[in-house]
A and B are shown apart, each in its own frame.
Chain A
Amino acid sequence: EAGVTQFPSHSVIEKGQTVTLRCDPISGHDNLYWYRRVMGKEIKFLLHFVKESKQDESGMPNNRFLAERTGGTYSTLKVQPAELEDSGVYFCASSQAQLRDGYTFGSGTRLTVV
């Protein structure tokens, strides 16, 4: 089966610009998650979709971040306007229905804000 696909793999933008990250989960996985790792720190949870609904967005840092999952398939994460501290690696993951199931992570998008 195809894995979790993220696009782009790298993005370099200037402070104040907008960037949109995309994630295509494994087909049939209702659960989709966004995580990020900033400057060599821990990987932090951002939010969790179940199909098209936001189940938990407690990790979203502020209102400059907007995540969507229209139709319950792929998801986008938009940062507008980007700040320097947003630089890091953004990971997407998906899983099947049960809590005991593992996650499958994508390769990540490395975002650099200059």
Chain B
Amino acid sequence: AQSVAQPEDQVNVAEGNPLTVKCTYSVSGNPYLFWYVQYPNRGLQFLLKYITGDNLVKGSYGFEAEFNKSQTSFHLKKPSALVSDSALYFCAVRGGAGSYQLTFGKGTKLSVIP
């Protein structure tokens, strides 16, 4: 069975500082990895995905994530946080032959402090 762990329920960072939201996963076969963001009273918005290729993936709003196969991690990063980045972030994995199911982590609430 596949699983995703987001070890931090909440991350606080000062505006302008770099941010990292952690994600580790467990899946059989090659993983397809995703990050989604949920702003208050909004749906899930796609940020970025890793399928194959470069381990560093660049996505929307200046976010990027690094796929690390040996550590089974896919941490989300941004060099300089904005107050508007404050939201709930979800890591998800899809794996296994022919599986379309996404397995999500519990989510990490990011608060960027002015």
Contacts and interface: CB of A to CB of B under 8 A. Distances in A.
Contact of B36 (A56, A105, A107): A105
Report whether over half of chain B's contact residues are helix, strand or loop; otherwise say mixed: strand
A84 B62 CA distance: 40
A22 B35 CA distance: 25
Interface residues of B, number: 23
The number of chain A residues touching the other chain, given as a range, is 20 to 34
B41 to A, nearest CB: 8
A100 B36 CA distance: 15
Contacts of B100: 31, 33, 48, 55-56, 95, 99
A105 B43 contact: yes
Interface of A: 4, 6, 31, 33, 35, 40-45, 48, 55-56, 58-59, 91, 93, 95, 99-100, 102-108
5 contacts: A35-B104, A48-B101, A91-B43, A103-B102, A105-B36
